[in-house]
Structure 1
Amino acid sequence: MTIHDRGKMKWQSASFIPLVFEMTSEMFKDQAWTPKPLLDENQTEEFDLRIAYATEYNKAVKLTVWDEGFNHDITGRVHYIDPITHELRIEVKPGEFERVAYDSVVGVKVLK
């Protein structure tokens, strides 16, 4: 009695599995999408005051930034506020800066 192995044929039916993983990750990513929150004048003024305070006293801030449907946090010190391009330059690490558009900021917290 000999064993008849089908070789690669037995794995051909499982060739769709990477595609399934990719599709499910895209599905969960689409479910986490959120629309940009609408901020009123009081909230934006409060953000301005918090950013000015953190800049004046060299405090770290935690910015919640909305980027194409997803929120992420950036923590660092406010290095420069550019009034022309409406951007904040945040020093994330010593010597490493990140630019954040002021319109995309949806939350500001001053850290101690």
Structure 2
Amino acid sequence: MVNKLTPGLNLRWESSRMMLPEHKEQIISHHFDKGKMIKPILDMSRFDEFDETIHTALEYHCPVSITHWLNGFNGILEGFIHYVDHINKHIRLKDFEENIYKIKFDSIINIQIM
């Protein structure tokens, strides 16, 4: 059986096997950053589709699924559109548990009626 005290092993480098907390944080943040995506660029026809979907969902009180971009990751929120604020450029979405989320227009990637 080979262990650290076996003759012939290079004991000089045995101490370099430890990992400092700073190294571990860097490795974790590197793996986290690898999963990030670039924000997709949408054309104006896509925004027109979003506008029609929002109008239909407000008129008929339909639940929607909104995919939005947040710091490199896509998030999906489901619920009812509560209010559209054109001045501050965001949508207020009320989910099924009565929580209200503000989603900015420029972070929306997709809107679908459920």
Give the TM interval when normalised to the shorter protein. Answer: 0.7 to 0.9
Number of aligned residue pairs: 100
**Aligned sequence identity (%):** 29
User: What is the match of residue 86 of structure 1?
Assistant: 89
Alignment of 1:1-112 (within 5 A): 16=19, 18-111=21-114
* Structure 1 unpaired stretches of 5+: 1-12
Instruction: Report the structure, 1 or 2, having the larger strand content.
Output: 1
TM-superposed CA distance for 1:57, in Å, is 0.8
Larger deviation: 53-62 or 92-101?
Answer: 92-101
Whole-angstrom distance in 2 between the partners of 1:77 and 1:92:
6
TM-superposed CA distance for 1:96, in Å, is 2.0
User: What is the match of residue 5 of structure 1?
Assistant: none
Task: Return closer, same or farther for 1:21/1:86 CA change in 2, 3 Å cut-off.
Answer: same
TM norm structure 1: 0.77
Deviations 1:56-100 (A, max 9, x none): 111111111111211111111000001111110000145421111
TM-superposed CA distance for 1:32, in Å, is 1.1
Computed over aligned residues only, the root mean square deviation of the Cα atoms, in angstroms, reads 2.0
